[in-house]
Amino acid sequence: MSAVTFIDRPNGHAVHDGNLRSEEAVLGALLIGGKWTDIADIVRAEDYSAKHPLIVAAIAALAAEGKPYDTLMVSQQLERSGHLVAAGGIEYLSQIARTTPSAANVRAYAIDVRRRAIEQGLPANHRDADGIARLKRAIAELDALETKATPAAATAFHVVWFATMNAAVHQSHLIKGLLLVNTLVVIYGEPGSGKTFMAMDMALAVAAGKPWRGHKTKKGLVIYVAGEGAASVRQRVAAYRKTHPDTDPGIPFCIVPQAVDFLDTESVDRLIATIHGLESEVRERAVLIIVDTLSRAMEGNENAPEVMGRAVNSAERIRAACDEATVTFVHHAGKDPSKGARGHTKLNAAIDTEIFVEGKSGVRVAEVKKQRDLAVGDKFAFELRQVILGTDPDGDAITSCVVDDAATPMPPAITRIKGANKAKLFVALKEWQRAHAGNDLISSIDLAAVAKAQKLTGSRKREAQAGLEEEGVLRPAVGGHRLNLDGFTA
């Protein structure tokens, strides 16, 4: 049997190492997002050993002022009171935050600490009047703890009265005029559109505190969750550093080189604990958390409302625990990119900002499609420039890309297809192309089948086809016809 460790309390009682672990679990859970209001009726500073009462007092003081009590804020509170060193320093706070698996059980941890303290305080002499009275009180409180397994009754919501709402409310900007602090954002596009490169360019500008596309940024810690292709993400950062040699190598930017499951509470708790630990390490608040991609962060049916709802709720939990952080999902476009990002509409309903990245070669354009509180319609044109990073063992170049500004291309002139039969065939061909992953070559057999489905046969089919050929929509080619549908509408 392994030895049992006891630690001396200042009040003379000995502390079992199990007590110490329970105390650390309470404090760690609070540091990674547990609610003080869930345990305020249970926690007594005198139940905690050594340096822990100092940490409890710091958290209680912050909670009373309505301030967050993550690792960084608690360390600053302890520093102001002159107790940071005595409480173990920011390193100790980071350690207990990292080693606490979940904030969900904070009340159970607190009850365990209180129960152990009651049991340790039982009188040695149960026969005298004082001992019997103390024993009765202890038994009554232990019984009462059993009824406290659920949080205390909820308090009323805070409200704001009409009479006080007579002045502008300042909303802090992460990227001036584009992204607000502590919001939920989606950047989406088709494969090859450059959406990840754009998100990376934005992230590094924020971490460095440099303007992005002429917009001021709020400098802070940026965490990039690389759920897809962590190695290629590292190469993109290397390409950025090579083309921006003036960037301070110590900027607060890092990647998490693995997916985080937004459908799993413990996985999200680990991410929150990681964020708080990193805030303590760099002594800056997290301002941007990018999750690339959303589909890798939710291994489920993204069209199911309950699945998308859980993913969105996880993002909201991160925002609540990191109250200056904007959470950004890099996501895929739907079958029709013009209709938004892939997945259930719960995502679109929840987000504050939606940016669509369009184009697969040459100049790409990122367009703001949705804003809850800012203007929509801004466009940012860019090109991807290849950067050679080195060579592999075979002597071939190792490359990545960086984002370069470009002039926003003029929208092409749109020609309307006239004639009912031509228009019907045109619309049907657009649907056929979408269903065939953008294929621009349609065989004569498929063309006849598409026309027949629209009840275009015989002379009606020949006239509609000839009309589209004359417009340039259909171009005869070996094996069938080439489709040239861009620039036309029905």
b/e per residue 280-289 (b: at least 16 CB within 10 A): bbbebbbbbb
Tens digits of pLDDT across the chain (490 residues): 333 333 344 444 444 455 788 899 999 999 988 889 888 888 888 888 889 999 999 999 998 888 889 888 999 999 999 999 999 999 899 888 888 877 888 888 888 888 888 777 666 655 566 665 666 666 666 566 665 555 545 557 778 888 888 877 778 999 999 999 999 999 999 999 999 999 999 999 999 999 999 999 999 999 999 998 888 999 999 999 999 999 999 999 999 999 999 999 889 989 998 998 899 889 899 999 999 989 999 988 999 999 999 999 999 999 988 889 999 999 999 888 877 899 999 999 999 999 999 998 899 999 999 999 899 999 999 999 999 999 999 999 999 999 999 987 766 678 899 999 999 999 999 999 989 888 889 999 999 999 999 999 999 999 999 999 999 999 998 889 999 998 889 8
CATH ID of 6-146, from 3.40.50.620, 1.10.1370.30, 1.10.860.10, 2.170.120.12:
1.10.860.10
In contact, 139 and 126? CB cutoff 8 Å = no
- For helices 230-243 and 195-208, give the axis angle rounded to 10 degrees: 60
Query: C-alpha angle with apex 157: 151 to 163, nearest 5 degrees?
Result: 165
Is domain 173-405 given the CATH code 3.40.50.1220 in the classification? no
Tally the residues of the chain: 490
Structure tokens at 17: 């190492």
What's the pLDDT at 268? 92
d(CA 353, CA 348): 9
Give the bridge partners for 212, in sequence order: 215
Q: Is 489 left (phi over 0), alpha (psi -120 to 50) or beta?
A: beta
- From the list 350, 348, 349, 368, the residue with the least C-alpha distance to 358 is 368
d(CA 320, CA 466): 61
Structure tokens at 203: 């992230």
Strands 179-180 and 184-189, sheet pairing: unpaired
d(CA 78, CA 64): 15
Architecture of domain 415-489: Orthogonal Bundle (1.10)
Taking the CB of residue 430, how many other CB atoms lie within 10 A of it? 17
The residue ranges of every structural domain in the chain are: 6-146, 173-405, 415-489
What's the pLDDT at 365? 93
- For helices 17-31 and 52-64, give the axis angle rounded to 10 degrees: 30
d(CA 199, CA 136): 63
d(CA 185, CA 188): 10
Structure tokens at 74: 């608690």
